[in-house]
Amino acid sequence: MKRFALVVAGLILFFGIVFAVLTILAELSRPSSSIVTSTECDPPCWHGIRPGVSTSWNVLDYLLSQNWVISDSIYEWTEGNETKQIAWKFQRPAGDTAGYAYFLDDKVTAISISTIGSLDISEVVELVGEPNSLVALYKETSIRQWVEISLIYPNKGVLVQVDIDLDNSVTQGMVEITEENPVYRVTYFNPELYDQLLGERNLIDESSEIILNNIQSWSGFGLVRFWK
């Protein structure tokens, strides 16, 4: 019996070590987010593209020169002769899924990167510090309920979106935000246009009235209140 217990304990230890090694290897092999690898300039600049300065030509020229952008996926929306938006998809070595650049008078107003788990909040905080405020909004579809948390850096021109899933019993209450929460989206924007971009839903997909009624000061990681 004692020998059997030792064998079981040994197997548990072995599989525990294997699981830990596989977890570490998976983490090491995870492609890096383009947010993490953007070291050419400080936010809200992204890989040399500067909101308020860079033009649509600058954006297209940069995207076409990168092997981690699928060139055939690049699409430009125009109204008349004016570019309004450029969209693209990423491929390895980038861990992100898609990107969007928005324009006003041919100048970038915002750059939105769909990260969808390619980095976590701790990595963002390491890059740009802790946010000034946040907005926690309840969302639902026929198959899912979640809280969309937007961490806002109005003076630095950065917004970080985190989605936290809920169960069906939640009506109003609290969700916990931690350093390990995966980031869904990072948006760099021109800080001078912060109020205007809120109203146009380029930062948070809600009316400016709803956003301003639900904005909270950042008080650190932990429980965050939201209303259904």
Tens-place pLDDT, residues 61-83 = 999 999 999 999 999 999 999 99
Q: Cβ–Cβ contacts within 10 Å for residue 179, how many?
A: 12
Is 156's pLDDT higher than 50?
yes
pTM of the model: 0.84
What tokens does 123 get? 């990595």
CA dist 86 → 9, 102, 133, 153 (Å): 57, 7, 29, 24
pLDDT band at 1 (very low <50, low <70, confident <90, very high): low
Q: What is residue 171's predicted lDDT score, i.e. its pLDDT?
A: 56
Q: Give 216-227 pLDDT, tens digit per residue.
A: 999 999 999 997
Domain boundaries, the chain: 41-226
Backbone angles phi, psi at 216, to 5 degrees: -130, 150
Q: Which residue has the tokens 């809120």?
A: 198
Distance of alpha carbon 19 from the chain centroid = 28
d(CA 5, CA 54): 67
CB 135 within 8 A of CB 204: yes
